[in-house]
Structure 1
Amino acid sequence: MASKEATVYIVDCGSTMSERSHGRKQTNLDFALEYVWDRITATVATGRKTAMVGVVGLRTDGTRNDLEGEEDYAHITVFQDISQMLMSQVRKLRNDLVLSSTEGGDAISAIIVAIQMIAKECKKLKYERKIVLVTDARGPMQTDDLGDIITKLKEDDIQLVVIGVDFDDAEYGFKEESKDATKAENEAGLKQLCNDCGGAFGTLVQAVDELGIPRVKSTKPVPSYKGFLTLGNPELYESAMAIDIERYPKVMAATTPSASKYVVRSDMGDATQSNMTMNGEDGQNGSYDGLAAVKNAMTYQVEDTNAPGGKRDVDRDELSKGYEYGRTAVHIAESDRNVTTYETTPGLDVIGFVDKNQYERYLDMSRSNLIIAQRNNEKASMALSSFIHALYELDSYGVARLVPKENKEPRTILLAPIIEPDFECLYDIELPFAEDMRSYKFPPLDRVVTVSGKEIEVHRNLPNDDLQDAISDYVDSMDLSTFGKDDEGASTEYMPMDETYAPMLHRIHQVIKHRAVFADAEPPPPYEILTRYSHTPDELVRKAQPALDRVLEAANIKRVPHKARGRRGRKEAPKPLSELDIGALLAQDPKRKHKRIDPKNAIAEFRQLIIQAEEDSAVRDACTQLKNIVFEWIRHSVGNSGYGRALEAIRVLREEMVDLETPAIYNEIMQELRTKLLAGDLGEGRGEMRYHVVTKKLGLIKASDLPGGATDDEVSKWRAAG
Structure 2
Amino acid sequence: VGFVQGLPEMSKEAICVILDVGKSMATERDDGTTRMELAKRYVQMLVQAKLLFGAKQDELCMILFGTAVTENKLNEEHPDHYKHIQHVHVFKRPDLDVLETLAAVEAEYAEGDVLDALFVGLELIVSRVRHLKFRKRIFLITDGGGPLEGKAHLEVLANELKHEDVRLNIIGIDFEEQDSDDEDEDEEEEKQPERKRTEKEIENEKLLRKLAEDTGGQVFVGSQAIDALNFIRKRSVKQVHKYKGPLKIGDLEIDVITYGKTAVQNMPSLKKTSQPAEEGGSLDTGVKMERTYWNKLGEEEEEVDREHRTKAYPYGKQLVPFSKADEELLKYTCEAALTILAFVPKESIRRYWCLSTVDCVVAQAEKGLRNGLKFSALIHALKEENLFAVARYIKKRNQKVAFVVLTPETNEEFECLYINQLPFSEDYRDYTFGSFEEKHKPKMEQRVAMRSLVRKMDLTRCEDEDGYEYEGLVMEDIQNPTLQRFYQIVEKRAFDPEAEIEKLDPSVAKSLCPDEQLLKRAKGEIKAVVSAFPLQVVEKAAKKKKRHWREYLDDDVDAKVADDDDDMAKAKKLKSVAAAGEDVKLDKIVADEVDNISSADPVSDLRAMASRKDDPKIITRAISQMLEMIQNLVQNSYGTSDYPKAIECLKALRDVCVTNDESDDFNTGMELLAKSFKSRKSFWDMVVAENLRPIDDTECAGSKYTKTQADEFLAADKEEPADSAPAEPEPEDDDIFDSME
State the TM-score, normalized to the length of structure 1. Answer: 0.64
Question: Residues 75-95 of structure 1, C-alpha deviation per residue, up to 9 Å, x if partnerless?
Answer: 322111233333334434433
- Per the alignment, residue 29 of structure 2 pairs with 21
Question: Residues 273-325 of structure 1, C-alpha deviation per residue, up to 9 Å, x if partnerless?
Answer: xxxxxxxxxxxx34xxxxx2221121223333222xxx543223221112343
Question: Residues 107-162 of structure 1, C-alpha deviation per residue, up to 9 Å, x if partnerless?
Answer: 33323332333343334655433333322333344144325444444443434443
- Per the alignment, residue 274 of structure 1 pairs with none
2:343–2:387 Cα contact (<8 Å) kept: yes
User: Percent identity at matched positions?
Assistant: 28
Which structure features the higher share of helix residues? 2
Equivalents in 2 of 1:71, 1:128: separation in Å?
32
Aligned equivalent of 1:472, options 444, 447, 451: 451
2:13–2:59 Cα contact (<8 Å) kept: yes
Matched to 2:257, the amino acid is E
Equivalents in 2 of 1:148, 1:385: separation in Å?
45
1:252–1:367 Cα contact (<8 Å) kept: yes
Equivalents in 2 of 1:466, 1:161: separation in Å?
55
Q: Is 1:228 matched with 2:246?
A: yes
1:403–1:409 Cα contact (<8 Å) kept: yes
Matched to 2:259, the amino acid is Y
2:360–2:416 Cα contact (<8 Å) kept: yes
Choose 343-352 or 27-36, whichever is displaced more: 343-352
Equivalents in 1 of 2:419, 2:278: separation in Å?
55
Question: Residues 239-297 of structure 1, C-alpha deviation per residue, up to 9 Å, x if partnerless?
Answer: x22222222223323334332222324363545xxxxxxxxxxxxx34xxxxx222112
Q: Is 1:331 matched with 2:313?
A: no
- Per the alignment, residue 268 of structure 2 pairs with 257
- Per the alignment, residue 583 of structure 2 pairs with none
- Per the alignment, residue 695 of structure 1 pairs with none
1:399–1:413 Cα contact (<8 Å) kept: yes
Choose 188-197 or 340-349, whichever is displaced more: 188-197
Equivalents in 1 of 2:449, 2:194: separation in Å?
53
2:169–2:212 Cα contact (<8 Å) kept: yes
2:406–2:418 Cα contact (<8 Å) kept: yes
**Change in 2 beyond 3 A, CA 1:496/1:126:** closer
- Ranges in structure 1 where 5+ consecutive residues have no aligned partner: 233-239, 272-284, 287-291, 449-458, 567-576, 585-603, 609-722
Q: Is 1:268 matched with 2:279?
A: yes
SS for the counterpart of 1:368 is: strand
SS for the counterpart of 2:357 is: coil
Q: Is 1:64 matched with 2:55?
A: no
- Per the alignment, residue 427 of structure 1 pairs with 418
Aligned equivalent of 2:332, options 329, 342, 345: 342
**Change in 2 beyond 3 A, CA 1:115/1:168:** same
**Change in 2 beyond 3 A, CA 1:264/1:319:** same
Q: Is 1:413 matched with 2:397?
A: no
Question: Residues 150-185 of structure 1, C-alpha deviation per residue, up to 9 Å, x if partnerless?
Answer: 444444343444333212233386785452233334
- Per the alignment, residue 123 of structure 2 pairs with 116
| Structure number with bigger Rg | 2
Equivalents in 2 of 1:153, 1:425: separation in Å?
35
- Per the alignment, residue 375 of structure 2 pairs with 384
2:23–2:111 Cα contact (<8 Å) kept: no
SS for the counterpart of 1:293 is: coil
Equivalents in 2 of 1:464, 1:200: separation in Å?
56
1:143–1:189 Cα contact (<8 Å) kept: no
- Per the alignment, residue 43 of structure 1 pairs with 50
1:135–1:165 Cα contact (<8 Å) kept: yes
SS for the counterpart of 1:10 is: strand
Aligned equivalent of 1:293, options 286, 290, 299: 286
**Change in 2 beyond 3 A, CA 1:562/1:264:** same
Aligned equivalent of 1:372, options 352, 362, 378: 362
**Change in 2 beyond 3 A, CA 1:333/1:123:** closer
Aligned equivalent of 2:463, options 465, 485, 507: 485
Matched ranges for 1:628-647 at <5 A? none
- Ranges in structure 2 where 5+ consecutive residues have no aligned partner: 1-8, 181-187, 545-551, 565-741
Q: Give the Å deviation of 1:405.
A: 1.7
SS for the counterpart of 2:120 is: helix
- Per the alignment, residue 93 of structure 2 pairs with 84
Q: Is 1:552 matched with 2:542?
A: no
**Change in 2 beyond 3 A, CA 1:87/1:327:** same
- Per the alignment, residue 649 of structure 2 pairs with none
Q: Is 1:184 matched with 2:177?
A: no
2:17–2:140 Cα contact (<8 Å) kept: yes
**Change in 2 beyond 3 A, CA 1:138/1:227:** closer
Matched ranges for 1:315-326 at <5 A? 315-326=305-316
2:311–2:321 Cα contact (<8 Å) kept: yes
Aligned equivalent of 2:475, options 463, 487, 497: 497
Matched to 1:79, the amino acid is V
Q: Give the Å deviation of 1:487.
A: 7.5
Q: Give the Å deviation of 1:342.
A: 1.3
State the TM-score, normalized to the length of structure 2. Answer: 0.63
Equivalents in 1 of 2:378, 2:501: separation in Å?
54
**Change in 2 beyond 3 A, CA 1:400/1:266:** closer
SS for the counterpart of 2:356 is: coil
2:39–2:141 Cα contact (<8 Å) kept: yes
Q: Give the Å deviation of 1:424.
A: 3.9
1:474–1:551 Cα contact (<8 Å) kept: no
- Per the alignment, residue 717 of structure 1 pairs with none
Matched to 2:270, the amino acid is A
Q: Give the Å deviation of 1:526.
A: 1.8
Question: Residues 519-539 of structure 1, C-alpha deviation per residue, up to 9 Å, x if partnerless?
Answer: 664454223343335355654
**Change in 2 beyond 3 A, CA 1:130/1:498:** closer
- Per the alignment, residue 6 of structure 1 pairs with 14
SS for the counterpart of 2:333 is: coil
Matched to 2:28, the amino acid is R
Aligned length: 532
The structure, 1 or 2, with the larger RCO (C-alpha pairs under 8 Å, 6+ apart) is: 2
SS for the counterpart of 1:412 is: strand
Choose 501-510 or 532-541, whichever is displaced more: 532-541
**Change in 2 beyond 3 A, CA 1:393/1:316:** same
**Change in 2 beyond 3 A, CA 1:562/1:214:** farther
Equivalents in 1 of 2:88, 2:506: separation in Å?
34
Equivalents in 1 of 2:384, 2:197: separation in Å?
65
**Change in 2 beyond 3 A, CA 1:390/1:209:** closer
- Per the alignment, residue 712 of structure 1 pairs with none
Equivalents in 1 of 2:353, 2:413: separation in Å?
30
1:165–1:205 Cα contact (<8 Å) kept: no
SS for the counterpart of 1:370 is: strand
Matched ranges for 1:111-150 at <5 A? 111-123=118-130, 127-146=134-153, 147-150=155-158
2:244–2:257 Cα contact (<8 Å) kept: yes
2:295–2:303 Cα contact (<8 Å) kept: yes
- Per the alignment, residue 84 of structure 2 pairs with 75
Equivalents in 1 of 2:302, 2:56: separation in Å?
47
SS for the counterpart of 1:262 is: coil
CA RMSD of aligned residues (A): 3.9
Aligned equivalent of 1:94, options 78, 87, 103: 103
1:477–1:543 Cα contact (<8 Å) kept: no
Q: Give the Å deviation of 1:202.
A: 4.2
Question: Residues 374-419 of structure 1, C-alpha deviation per residue, up to 9 Å, x if partnerless?
Answer: 3243333333344445544554433322222222222222233445
